[in-house]
Amino acid sequence: MNGAGSLRLRLLVTTTLGVLLALLAAYLGLSRLFQDHAERQFQAEIEHQLDHFSALLERGPNGLPRLTRDSPEPQWQRPLSGWYAQLDAPGRPALWRTRSLWDAALPPQDGAPGIGTRFGRATGPAGEALRTGARRLRLPGADAPDPGVNDTDTWTLRVAVDARDLETAQTRFDRLLALSLGVLALALLLGAAAQMAFALTPVTRLQAALGRVQAGQADRLEGSYPTELRPLVDSFNIVLAQNLEATRRAREQAGNLAHALKTPLAVLTNAADRAQDEGSEQPDGLAALVREQVEAAHRHVQWHLARARAAAAHGPGRAPPRARLADAVAPLVRVMQRLNAERSIHIEDATRDSAAAVAAEAQDLNEMLGNLLDNACRAARARVSIAVREQLREDGVRDLCIDIDDDGPGLPPHAREYALQRGARLDERQPGNGLGLAIVRELAHLYGGDLALADSPAGGLRASLRLPCA
């Protein structure tokens, strides 16, 4: 998978971000809910203790409030326990307090409590953080109060509870929540990865099916695919069928053209031969003209047939062509040696033991090499050599380069481009046959190769035919 182009990676990254954001929001929300719940629980406990002490208070003989009995809960009796209660009178703070405060007092609370309970925060005598609650009390007067005291006097009852238990509970909850959500995130991501692997399996199968079509093992996409991919598969199959049909029609038309022209060309050739035999002194050279035009037409027919073969070889549903170099060169060398026996042309074949093969039709390879060898033998004085080497392109494709050298006069650089043009010949004084250098180069282009002319180390011309390795 590669980063920006991978559908799997994009889905995984998107899913991961979505899961992490959702779980982060869940963590913050649940932590906040627990904190609010714990605070309400603390406040409910403070409310309960305020009710408890309010029920135990009464006006004493001196008009001041007193407890009817001590609270039975031990945290109020243990010094600095973190549980404190205190009663404040106007101008007389800590009028009464629990034994847990010992000789200390709760710090003053901002503002005066109104109706109901007023909650706040404070620092205890031991430096601990406290949650506090304050409530105003008014006790009815029954006994004679001290001077300045009457039944309208109000007191403030305050209860404070150590908040460390609250903070500890919050910390434990956050830790457990983070651990739980982390495990959940891992499980969700693993499930998402498994789901994506399962969901993308049809895409992998589709890729494999396309590979089989490209390799020539099938001419259409087969298999069962999900509903979402079925229209795409059907469209692929329609295009493949259309391409196969177009290729078949092109090959049939090229074959029909060749067969249709062979007979008239043969008749014209025979007529030209008879005319030349019957009247060799013809001033207008009609026979020679007819023969030249017939050969030109024959070359065009062969060229179009070669193009049709090359197009069919690269069409969909066809296996890549493969031709072994030694199998093509050996018979051509034997033929060229027989044809040039009178000139004693020696052909050195370095490809005899080579296992190299090119991605081209065997017939097309024979036509290209045959034309190049024929031209080399015509130009050579005594020696022609055939060698093969591999080349590596910048895109990583391996090519096979077939070098055909002769020791003839060669060609100057300005004449080489002309020799590669359609209809041109290396030696206009000699009759030509075969496809011609221009057609050889164009045919090589159809297979992804090329033809180049250069100076030969033997002193003549080097023709380098480059074709992809099979």
The model's pLDDT over 231-277, given as tens digits with 9 standing for 90+, comes to 888 888 888 888 877 777 776 666 666 666 666 667 677 766 666 66
Asked if 160 and 106 count as a contact pair (C-beta separation under 8 A), the reply is yes
Residue 332: Cβ within 10 Å count:
20
Tokens of 339: 């044809």
Q: Measured between alpha carbons, how far is 307 from 46 in angstroms, rounded to an integer?
A: 97
pLDDT at 182: 92
Low-confidence ranges of the chain (pLDDT < 50): 1-3, 142-152, 282-283, 426, 428-429, 431-434
Asked if 82 and 124 count as a contact pair (C-beta separation under 8 A), the reply is yes
Handedness of CA 369, 371, 374, 379 (dihedral sign): negative
pTM, full prediction = 0.46
Backbone conformation region of residue 396, classed left if phi is above 0, alpha if psi is from -120 to 50, else beta = left
Asked if 65 and 59 count as a contact pair (C-beta separation under 8 A), the reply is yes
Distances (CA, A) of 270 to 172, 227, 287, 298, 378: 107, 65, 10, 14, 27
Q: Measured between alpha carbons, how far is 225 from 202 in angstroms, rounded to an integer?
A: 6
Tokens of 430: 């000699």
Asked if 465 and 444 count as a contact pair (C-beta separation under 8 A), the reply is yes
